[in-house]
Amino acid sequence: MNRLAQERSPYLLQHAGNPVDWYPWSAEAFDKARSEDKPIFLSIGYSTCHWCHVMEHESFENAEIASALNADFVSIKVDREERPDVDRVYMTFVQSTTGSGGWPMTVFLTPDLRPFFGGTYFPPTSRWGRPGFVDLLQEIAHVWKHDRSRVDHAATELFDRLKTVTGSDGRAQVEATLAGPETLAEAVSQYERAFDARHGGFGQAPKFPRPAELFLLLREYARTGHEKAALMTFDTLRAMALGGMRDHVGGGFHRYAVDAEWRVPHFEKMLYDQAQLALAYLEAALVSGDALYAAIAEDTLAYVRRDLQQSEGGFSSAEDADSVPPEGGPKREGAFYVWTDAEIGALLGADADVVRVRFGIRPGGNVASDPQAEFTNQNILYTSHSLEDVAARTGRSIDAVTEALGRSRIALFEARAKRPRAHLDDKVLTSWNGLMIAAFARAARVLAGRPFAAAHLATAQRAAGFIRDRMWHEAERRLLRRYRGGHAAIDAYAEDYAALIWGVLELFESDGDPAWLAWARTLQARQDDLFWDETEAGWFSTTGSDPFVLLRLKEDYDGAEPSASAMSVMNLITMAHLFDDHEARRKAQRTLARYGPNAGRAARVIPLMLAGLSAWHAGLSQIVVVGPRDREDTAALLAEVSGRFLPFAVIMPVEPGARQAELARLMPFVGPMQMQDGRATAFVCRDFACQAPVSSPEALASLLVAG
């Protein structure tokens, strides 16, 4: 076993038995590189990454390749999910020098950590138009030993270019003009041009879920009534829900689709996708009134609660794409999820034909092209035909088809449970847990009155309590990023604070507990202390205190995970309307202004930031409901609010008595609000000026419709 056996990261532990003399990211490794004058081979990935597994098996388990690495390089392995700060620097380098990025990431560094060559996956020998890893190692070792000036020159030139690209050279000219509403119209038109009207989503294959885009479109629909913005969102969410990217047996979503039709997924399941997609489906349910979207959200949350929530309350990070097939043998992508036609027939008997038609099952498999032979004769479940079509083709009634599908799902789930399960990455990450807390808390409101609403709230409360108890040190005002095996470590990054604050604010809006609100305010103050850039606005990703991370960057891209600055803008807009906080308003405005009057042209890059701009121009209202939580009249008023899509409102459930007194210390304006004639009462306010209180859902509905 190498040094990685002493680490806690599941990804690093996966490489602990390699013959490569791996080091974690550490001073020990850097000292060795300097003392022996060797280049650093930096390999970055994560534990559920399919191509990371492939490169490990092909290269890092290979004794000959390991010998070459051990002789001429100092090899360092980094988990990108634990150390996004390291990943971000070198991913920016790889993207700027090759035009693309991904994991596993392969970068060669000088002993002082400057990159001079990088890429992603390399096969052991040349194929698929990619140079072989063995050849690459030999060439770099030769140049390092015999043409060192060439390496030093490249490292200096490329690092200078990297500083320029990232704005770390001190020459960046940041905009300081807040974009007007017209830039949001330009943003929506960017999505209209990229929209795939046939299959849903934006652009062509591969297709990744990016819920931040949908959050922007739905907010613009709410703000302006732009119908196409809503329709694009509905079409995209429906296509994802019906395609193979969704797990039709166990719930939840796979990472992305390799094709334009959302049919063939890359099978890993990430916590951050489940959280954001659940939020997007909940919002679509409110806007459209279509029960499908609420059902998909609940199905996704059920998967997370069942398979990802740990006994202490936190959520595990991900499930792998690869697993051992039912028949045994080496791990294969998707083996846990796919089915042969014969299996369907044997398991389902008389219901098999219904499932075959509904989910596109074919005797020879339903994946048309498979150059790696991963899915030969295998079927990926996707919704091939509507219930009406299935009924017509099988000669059954729609009710009979629905019943058959329900029985079949249970049978498939139970059969699948007997298969070897994919690896679970059980580390708890604060940022991803924050997003998941937000999703469960929002579901408790939106789905109030449904059977699992109370469970959604309890799940969010448990998770938030776990983070507060295990990963937040009150005396030191210190938040940690990662928890695993009873041990919390790694100082949190800006994204951890921002996502957790988002989750905690959503939780307050759902249960009205003043403790969440107070904690959110404390977390925001600490985030600002550590990461806020008063000179150019926005939040740095890191504190800049680690001398081994060469660049202190800000993340602007709202990709698979939303950026810290975008989440923070949304949080601060909410806080400004909870606390009448002028400093929160100032920071939000300055950050939005960083992107200037033409921000709409970058809509595909900064969608959540533009959702914040939409909220800024719409202005937020405050909806206060005063009444005991266990009373029907209180529940009726809250249901009237939660059943509407109100992205530009802050909801404040106020329990009379001690809780209201505690809230009044944080938000003085709620202190005088009282129930009218002993009935639960709602106050609809804007900029802390309130309309006359109302006590009936009908009267409240009139105020909400009037805006």
Mean pLDDT split into 10-residue runs, the chain, 707 residues:
96 98 98 98 96 96 97 98 96 94 96 97 86 94 96 95 83 79 97 97 95 98 98 98 98 96 96 98 98 98 98 98 94 95 97 98 83 77 98 97 98 97 97 98 96 97 98 97 97 98 98 97 98 96 93 93 98 96 97 96 97 97 96 97 97 97 96 96 95 97 88
Rounded-to-10 torsion of CA 538, 544, 545, 550: 170
- The DSSP 8-state label assigned to residue 421 in this structure reads P
Q: Which domains does the chain have, with CATH numbers?
A: 3-166 (3.40.30.10), 182-206+215-242+303-318+425-617 (1.50.10.10), 337-418 (no CATH), 621-706 (3.40.30.10)
Token representation of residue 210: 């990016």
Q: What is the pLDDT of residue 268?
A: 96
Rounded distance between C-alpha atoms, residue 142 and residue 500, angstroms: 48
Query: Nearest to residue 351, comparing CAs of 299, 295, 410, 263?
Result: 410
Report phi then psi at 196, rounded to 5: -90, 95
Rounded distance between C-alpha atoms, residue 27 and residue 298, angstroms: 46
How far apart, in Å, are the Cα atoms of 470 and each of 409, 462, 480, 650?
A: 38, 12, 9, 29
CB-based contacts of 667-671 (< 8 A; 24+ apart in sequence)? 667/517, 667/578, 667/579, 667/580, 669/580, 670/624, 670/626
Helix (H, G, I), strand (E, B) or coil at 269: strand
For residues 107 and 37, is the Cβ–Cβ distance under 8 A? no
For residues 682 and 624, is the Cβ–Cβ distance under 8 A? yes
Place of tokens 């009462």: 681
DSSP 314-358: -B--EE-SEE--TT-SS-EETTTT-B-HHHHHHHHGGGHHHHHHH
Rounded distance between C-alpha atoms, residue 222 and residue 618, angstroms: 9
How far apart, in Å, are the Cα atoms of 675 and each of 62, 198, 625, 658?
A: 72, 52, 9, 15
The identity of residue 183, as a single letter, is T
For residues 91 and 105, is the Cβ–Cβ distance under 8 A? yes
Q: Strands 332-333, 649-654: parallel, antiparallel or unpaired by DSSP?
A: unpaired
Rounded distance between C-alpha atoms, residue 202 and residue 583, angstroms: 37
Q: What is the pLDDT of residue 626?
A: 98
Q: What is the pLDDT of residue 172?
A: 58
For residues 463 and 358, is the Cβ–Cβ distance under 8 A? no
Q: Strands 269-270, 689-690: parallel, antiparallel or unpaired by DSSP?
A: unpaired
Place of tokens 């020998």: 125
Token representation of residue 150: 């060439």
The identity of residue 7, as a single letter, is E
- The DSSP 8-state label assigned to residue 18 in this structure reads S
Burial level of 119, CB count in 10 A (0-12/13-18/19+)? buried
Query: Nearest to residue 307, comparing CAs of 413, 406, 381?
Result: 413
